[in-house]
Amino acid sequence: MTIRAVVKGIGHYLPERIVENAEFEARLDTSDEWIKARSGIERRHVAAEGQTTSDLATRAALAALADAGMQPDDLDAIILATSTADLTFPAAATMVQANLGMTRGFAFDVQAVCAGFVFALANANGMILSGQAKRVMVIGAETFSRLMDWTDRSTCVLFGDGAGALILQAEDGSGTNTDRGVLASDLNSDGRHRDLLYVDGGVSTGTTGHLRMQGRDVFRHAVEKLAQTAHAALDKVGLTGGDVNWIVPHQANLRIITATAQRMQVPMERVVVTVQDHGNTSAASIPLALSVGRDRGQIKPGDLIVTEAIGGGLAWGAVVLRW
């Protein structure tokens, strides 16, 4: 008998305010056509003034709990993937824990930028397999709008705010790749590329800072590394792109998503795409896409799913799971 971390519930939350590409045309030298053609993005949600990452995460967490039919104290742990925690510390996960009224267990943040949800999911799986926790909520939540330089057309049109959450529970499996739950993961980082995508603020500067990106270089790394990591994770359990029902990729750029699917020889009909409506919501993008994909009726129980993401660090990775 093998223990598996099986998805028991999922939910998401998007802030009310939607910013269409056209809004940028008024104040920047850009166009709806350029943004759509180069990134696939048409609109993004932006948090209201005073609405924090932990607020978004709490809304997504409540939706996931309702979906699973669970109470907050049924959870043993909350792992929140974010690069935009409300404060430098404590972890935004502890704020979510308090907001939910959860009085037991533990909560902490994972910071691997856009790959954060994949890293958090792999960690949650490890905790369940080692017996440290039976039920873990994994959240991705971000307010990247707070990190934008709104005068920089090469970055500010690309990002958005949002949150998604899923609940994993320990269940018995057979130990084969037909089991439901997390089957494999592959995590990587290479700090030599840290200057390609970073925020020029933090404790060392005494400012929050703004996101800075060398888009063309990040694009090149993404196209190469995402298919590699997805294949590496699939290989670990004897599966290939042909076995995949859905790629649920990090939603940064439609051209990266398409190129990765091509390299994996998976047709676009089997890729969950939300980037047109959400923009790049960093660590929130995969749980948002999983939740929307489930709500659309795309993702069904038993489906084999590959998630893959890359972001600042560079950090990248993939998780293979059966829904």
Ligand X SMILES: CC(C)(COP(=O)(O)OP(=O)(O)OC[C@H]1O[C@@H](n2cnc3c(N)ncnc32)[C@H](O)[C@@H]1OP(=O)(O)O)[C@@H](O)C(=O)NCCC(=O)NCCS
DSSP assigned state of 104:
S
Pair type for strands 17-20 and 43-46? antiparallel
Tokens 């080692």 appear where?
130
Least distance from ligand X to the Cβ atom of residue 205, Å: 22
Of residues 21, 45, 114, 253, which has the active-site annotation?
Answer: 114
Least distance from ligand X to the Cβ atom of residue 34, Å: 4
What's the CA gap between 277 and 289, in Å, rounded?
Answer: 11
Q: Is 157 in the site for ligand X (CB under 6 A)?
A: yes
What's the CA gap between 159 and 148, in Å, rounded?
Answer: 8
Beta pairing partners, 302: none
Least distance from ligand X to the Cβ atom of residue 194, Å: 13
- Under DSSP, is residue 119 helix (H, G, I), strand (E, B) or coil? helix
Residues 29-58: x/- map of binding to ligand X (CB under 6 A)? -x---xx--xx-------------------
Q: Which of 289, 80, 114, 120 is closest to 213 using CA atoms?
A: 114
Positions in 62-121 near ligand X (CB under 6 A): 114
Of residues 21, 125, 253, 280, which has the active-site annotation?
Answer: 280
* Order of strands, sheet of 77-81, starting from the edge strand that comes earlier in the sequence: 2-13, 161-173, 135-143, 77-81, 106-110
Among 86, 219, 270, 276, binds ligand X (CB under 6 A): 219
What's the CA gap between 203 and 199, in Å, rounded?
Answer: 11
**Tokens describing residue 45:** 């949600």
Q: Is 252 in the site for ligand X (CB under 6 A)?
A: yes
Q: Is 156 a catalytic residue?
A: no
Least distance from ligand X to the Cβ atom of residue 302, Å: 30
- Decide whether 7 or 284 has the Cβ nearer to ligand X: 284
Binding-site residue total for ligand X (CB under 6 A)? 20
Least distance from ligand X to the Cβ atom of residue 157, Å: 5
Of residues 12, 250, 253, 278, which has the active-site annotation?
Answer: 250
Span of 93-101, 153-161, 232-240, 257-265 interacting with ligand X by CB under 6 A:
153-161
Q: Is 305 in the site for ligand X (CB under 6 A)?
A: no
- Decide whether 153 or 236 has the Cβ nearer to ligand X: 153
- Residues 307, 264: contact at Cβ < 8 Å? no
DSSP assigned state of 296:
T
Q: Is 149 in the site for ligand X (CB under 6 A)?
A: no
Least distance from ligand X to the Cβ atom of residue 185, Å: 18
103-113 burial: b if 16+ Cβ within 10 Å, else e: eebbbbbbbbb
Q: Does an H or E element contain 263, and which?
A: helix 254-263
What is the DSSP secondary-structure string of 213-254? E-HHHHHHHHHHHHHHHHHHHHHHTT--GGG-SEEEE--S-H
- Decide whether 152 or 171 has the Cβ nearer to ligand X: 152
Residues known to be catalytic? 114, 250, 280
- Binding interface with ligand X (CB under 6 A): 30, 34-35, 38-39, 114, 153-154, 157, 213, 215-216, 218-219, 252-253, 256, 280, 310-311
